[in-house]
Every structure is written in structure tokens, then in C-alpha cells.
Amino acid sequence: MDFLKPRYTPMNRRRRIYEGKAKVLYEGPEPGTLIQHFKDDATAFNAKKHEVIDGKGVLNNRISEYLFQHLNDIGVPTHFIRRLNMREQLIREVEIIPLEIVVRNVAAGSLAQRLGLEEGTQLPRSIIEFYYKNDALNDPMVSEEHITAFGWATPQEIDDIMALAIRVNDFLSGLFLGVGIRLVDFKMEAGRLWEGDMMRIVVADEISPDSCRLWDIKSQDKLDKDRFRRDLGGLIEAYSEVARRLGILGENENIQATGPRLVQ
Ligand code: UDP
């Protein structure tokens, strides 16, 4: 009856499709699927700063699962199918659009610097920005003109992406506000999901404290990757606090950092 047993593919024998700074993509169990593996690596300033932080991948996998599942549930399409284990999730294979889509509610980071705004200033309205995903060029900011002229996305796709970004921002802002956290800004990615001849734009990649700025409403404490970028320490504690408030981690539970690890 051996044929009834699920086929076991050791992690290091799966076909690796892509390795990024914080994640690895493997071939999925069925055509059109991939496995997204969250590593413990933290990078900033275009990978000039790099550290391995035990347990970060486990937390981001759980937090991103929670956010993507809720987005799916309210009808915002994403690539997420389900979480597989501590560090991995099953996703739909999409054609990634080479843009980082940043939505901002409050001035911080590069916007505060570029326009000389004080960090923490509420913006007159939410602002969407596009950056061209290209490490060699340091992800330069681009306009809709560049995006359409160079064919990275069509005008219709840009409209779809902006509509998605606004829905994601509204949902996340409300969700985090409910647990005493201010969503200052976040980065999302979008992909083309093909279903036969039909294509739609879906939210892809991850949404986690690595890609959001999350400030505690009362203390203004940073509960995101700025703890790493700005050498503030306590990154795992901050990410765990986000997970706890979302009800992913129990009150006195700590993340088990010693889950399955990436076999290099
Ligand atoms: N961000 C990201 N990946 C990047 C650049 C930015 O996830 O490669 C996120 C970042 O965490 C923040 C938002 O996008 O939540 C806006 O980042 P900003 O442009 O202020 O750049 P930074 O100050 O992070 O360099």
C-alpha cells in the first residue's frame, strides 16, 4: 500500500526556483503552485547590512499568513493558498510585476527625508508610490509614465494595482488600529495570476513587520524592521508583540526559533 503514502520530498531536493534576501521559492506540489520559505535573514540598505535573527522567518510566515488569509476572506485576491509548516506556505505562481508599491499614511523613512517632513506627521491623504525593483539601481522611485513607457505594467494594470493597494491599506489600517497599532506605511507587491486565458492582478510576496512600519499607538514604539535598520534591538520581541496582538501567539507564548531550517 506504499502508493497511498504521501510522497515525501526532502527539503534540499526540491527544485529551487528563486532565492531572495529573506525568502526562497521552491517548486510546488502541483503545476501553478510554489512553496514560499521564510528565512531568518534580515537585510537593509540594499543588503549592505545583513544579520540572521533566529525566529524572524517563523514569525513573518505566521503574520503574513494571517494577513493574506484575511485579505482572501474579504475578497481581496492574493497569491496565498495555505500555510504548510513553521516556515513555509503554499502560494499560487504569479508573474511578479517588477514594482514595489508603497502606501503611506504617515510621513516616515525615505519620504520624511526626501521632502523634509518630520517623522510622524499625518499625511493629508494616503499616498501611493512606485519603485522599480532593481537591486543594482537601488530600487529607484518611478512614475506611472516610466511604468507604462517601459512596459512594466499597462495603464489598466496600474489602475488595478492602485485599487488593490487602497483596499489593502484600508483593511490593514483598521485591523492594526483595533489592536493599538498605527500603520504608518507598507510595501506590497503585485502579480499577474493566469487562469486559462483570464488574467487578474493579485497581491503577492509577503506583508509582515519586515515590509510595514507599525507604531504602538500609546508609546509610539516601533514594532517593525526599523528596529534592525536603526539598531534599536528587540526585533523578535517587537514582531512577537505584533503576533500576540493579532491573536496568533498566546499571551505568554514565545516563538520556537528551532523549527525546520533551510538546508543550504
Ligand atoms: N519597504 C520594503 N522594502 C523595500 C523598501 C521599503 O518593505 O525594499 C517598506 C518599508 O518597510 C516601509 C515602506 O516600504 O514600510 C516605505 O519605505 P521607505 O521608502 O520609507 O524606505 P526605507 O526608509 O525603508 O528605506
Residues 110 and 83 in one domain: no
Which of 185, 208, 210 has the most ligand 1 atoms within 8 A of CB, as the residue to mutate? 185
For ligand 1, whether the C-beta of 164 sits within 6 Å is no
Assess contact for 210 and 189: CB atoms under 8 A.
Answer: no
Residues 100 and 59 in one domain: no
- Look at residue 257 and tell me whether its pLDDT is greater than 80: no
- Reported as a single tens digit per residue, the pLDDT across 124-160 is 999 999 999 999 999 999 999 999 999 999 999 999 9
- Reported as a single tens digit per residue, the pLDDT across 46-66 is 999 999 999 999 999 999 999
Residue 142 lies in a domain: yes
d(CA 77, CA 38): 21
- Reported as a single tens digit per residue, the pLDDT across 33-42 is 999 999 999 9
**Distance from residue 186's CA to the centre of ligand 1 (Å):** 7
What's the mean pLDDT in 103-113?
98
146 phi/psi in degrees, rounded to 5: -65, -40
Domain that holds residue 179: 96-216
Residue 257 lies in a domain: no
- Ligand 1 atom nearest to 108, measured from its CA: 20
Residue 260 lies in a domain: no
Residues 115 and 197 in one domain: yes
For ligand 1, whether the C-beta of 33 sits within 6 Å is no
For ligand 1, whether the C-beta of 226 sits within 6 Å is no
Residue 137 lies in a domain: yes
pTM of structure: 0.93
Residues 125 and 206 in one domain: yes
What's the mean pLDDT in 168-196?
98
Residues 85 and 174 in one domain: no
For ligand 1, atom 10, the nearest C-alpha belongs to: 211
CB atoms within 10 A of CB 216: 17
What's the mean pLDDT in 95-105?
98
Q: How far is CA 221 from CA 6, 119, 181, 261, in A?
A: 46, 13, 9, 30
Element counts in the chain: helices (H) and strands (E) = 6, 14
At residue 1, the pLDDT reads 47
Residues 123 and 211 in one domain: yes
Residues 156 and 103 in one domain: yes
- Look at residue 209 and tell me whether its pLDDT is greater than 50: yes
Residues 145 and 205 in one domain: yes
**CATH number for the domain that contains residue 63:** 3.30.200.20
How deeply is 7 buried, as exposed, middle or buried, from its count of CB atoms within 10 A (0-12, 13-18, 19+)? Answer: exposed
Residue 15 lies in a domain: yes
Residues 126 and 208 in one domain: yes
Assess contact for 148 and 155: CB atoms under 8 A.
Answer: yes
Assess contact for 195 and 202: CB atoms under 8 A.
Answer: no
- Look at residue 11 and tell me whether its pLDDT is greater than 70: no
The domain total for the chain is 2
Question: In the predicted model, what is the mean pLDDT of the chain?
Answer: 94
Q: Computed over its alpha carbons, how large is the radius of gyration of the chain?
A: 19
For ligand 1, atom 14, the nearest C-alpha belongs to: 187
Residues 208 and 168 in one domain: yes
Local structure of residue 13 (DSSP, 8 states): G
Residues 239 and 171 in one domain: no
Grid cell locating 32: 501553478
Q: How far is CA 13 from CA 7, 27, 39, in A?
A: 13, 10, 17
The upper half-sphere exposure of residue 199, i.e. CA atoms within 13 Å in the direction of its Cβ, equals 13
Residue 263 lies in a domain: no
Which of 187, 208, 239, 242 has the most ligand 1 atoms within 8 A of CB, as the residue to mutate? 187
For ligand 1, whether the C-beta of 213 sits within 6 Å is yes
At residue 204, the pLDDT reads 98
Residues 46 and 126 in one domain: no
